[in-house]
Amino acid sequence: MRRRQFIALLGSAAVSWPLAARAQQPVRMRRIGVLMGVANDAVAQGYYAPFLQELQRLGWTAGGNLRIEERWGEGNMNVIRAHAAELSGQRLEAIFAYGIRALTAIHQQTDTIPIVTMGLPNYYVENFARPAGNVTGFTTGPGDSSAVSKLAEALKKIASHITRVALVRQSDNDASPTILPLFNAAAQSLGMTPVELVVRDAAELEQAIAAFAREPNGGLIFPADVFLATHRDLIIGLAAKHRLPAIYTDRFYAVTGGLMSYGSDRRILFRQAAGYIDRLLKGEKIADLPVQVPTKWELVLNLKTAKALGLDVQPMLALTDEEIE
Give the DSSP per-residue string, 145-199.
HHHHHHHHHHHHHH-TT--EEEEEEETT-SSGGGGHHHHHHHHHHTT-EEEEEEE
Percent of the chain with pLDDT over 70: 89
Segment 109-138 mean pLDDT: 91
Does residue 197 carry a pLDDT above 90?
yes
> Of 230, 295, 223, 229, nearest to 264 (Cα)?
295
Residue 10, pLDDT > 80, answer no
Q: Distance (Å, rounded) from C-alpha 280 to C-alpha 93? A: 8
- Predicted confidence band of residue 153 (pLDDT cuts 50, 70, 90): very high
> Is the pLDDT score of 281 beyond 90?
yes
Q: Quote the percentage of the chain above a pLDDT of 90.
A: 66
Instruction: Determine whether 111 is exposed, middle or buried from the number of CB atoms within 10 Å of its CB (0-12, 13-18, 19+).
Output: exposed
Q: Is the pLDDT of residue 31 over 90?
A: yes
**Top-confidence residue, 120 or 235:** 235
- pLDDT of the residue at 7: 45
Predicted confidence (pLDDT) per residue in 67-114, tens digit: 999 999 988 889 999 999 999 999 999 999 998 889 999 999 999 999
Average pLDDT over residues 31-36: 97
Whole-number pLDDT of residue 176: 61
φ/ψ of residue 143, rounded to 5: -110, 5
What pTM does this model have? 0.82
Q: Is 14 helix (H, G, I), strand (E, B) or coil?
A: helix
Q: How far apart are CA 141 and CA 5, in angstroms?
A: 75
Predicted local distance difference test score (pLDDT) of residue 308: 96
Confidence class for position 285, pLDDT limits 50, 70, 90: very high
pLDDT at 301 over 60: yes
Closest CA to 159 of 196, 190, 182: 190
Give the model's pLDDT for residue 289: 97
Residue 286 DSSP label: G
Contacts of residue 198, Cβ cutoff 8 Å, sequence gap at least 6? 169, 170, 171, 208
The predicted pLDDT at position 17 comes to 46
Per-residue DSSP letter, 218: E
Q: How confident is the model at residue 20 (pLDDT cuts 50, 70, 90)?
A: very low
pLDDT at 13 over 50: no
Residue-range domains of the chain with CATH: 30-140+265-288 (3.40.50.2300), 145-263+298-324 (3.40.50.2300)
- Looking at residue 142, what is its pLDDT? 47
Q: What is the pLDDT of residues 156-182, one digit of tens each?
A: 999 999 999 999 988 877 666 678 888
Mean pLDDT within 273-290: 97
Structure-derived torsion over alpha carbons of residues 211, 212, 217, 221, reported in degrees to the nearest 10: -150
